[in-house]
Amino acid sequence: MDDAIDTERLRLRPFASSDASSAFAWFGDPAVMRYTPTGPDKNLEETATRLAEYQHHQSDHGFSKWIILEKVSNQPIGDSGLLFLPEHGWIDFGFRLALAFWGKGLATEAGFAWVQQAFGPLKLPGLRAIVHPENTASRRVLQKLGFFEDRRDVIRGMPCLVCSLTPDQARNPLAHR
């Protein structure tokens, strides 16, 4: 996979260890991490450990969660990407943005970039995403991308909806902006 993915307003790239303090801004935010099973990171060391796990996943699988940078300012604003979950046997798609960047269509833009990578260069047969039933904003992003709700479940202790996407179901939500 490429070292970076560029969209109209964003640049996505693999995390570097030096991104930990920037990333702690959202990984440590209780509002941003409200619907995440692990909750917010308690300190910078937890974020550094998380990023090291993403780097290891990247080297093992060729993809992972990547940092999202706002192109104009080069400011880190969140993360998005793909993780293989061996306990479930699927590739999990996810995204997270710092609170100041919610409601601007950036999660959809980053998400569509990953869907294109998943079904283009990575040639994955499908993606899954887990989302808390009350997380209406994330559910809406998934719907825009073409994900459909498979079932309700409890994963990592969190009640969730398991959503799926195959290449033929993927949509371009940016085409009509």
Q: Pairing relation of β-strands 158-165 and 10-14?
A: unpaired
pLDDT digits (tens, 9 = 90+) for 79-119: 999 999 999 899 999 999 999 999 999 999 999 999 999 99
The predicted pLDDT at position 175 comes to 66
pLDDT at 141: 97
pLDDT digits (tens, 9 = 90+) for 18-51: 999 999 999 999 999 999 988 999 999 999 999 9
Alpha carbons within 13 angstroms on the beta-carbon side of residue 133 total 10
Distance, CA of 136 to CA of 82 (rounded, Å): 21
Domains of the chain (ranges, CATH numbers) = 5-125 (3.40.630.30)
Instruction: Give the residue among 127, 112, 82 at the shortest CA–CA distance from 173.
Output: 112
Q: Which helix (H) or strand (E) holds 20?
A: helix 20-27
Query: Is 0.85 surpassed by the pTM of this model?
Result: yes
CA distance 78 to 91: 20
Question: Three-class SS of residue 123?
Answer: coil
Helix (H) or strand (E) holding 177: none
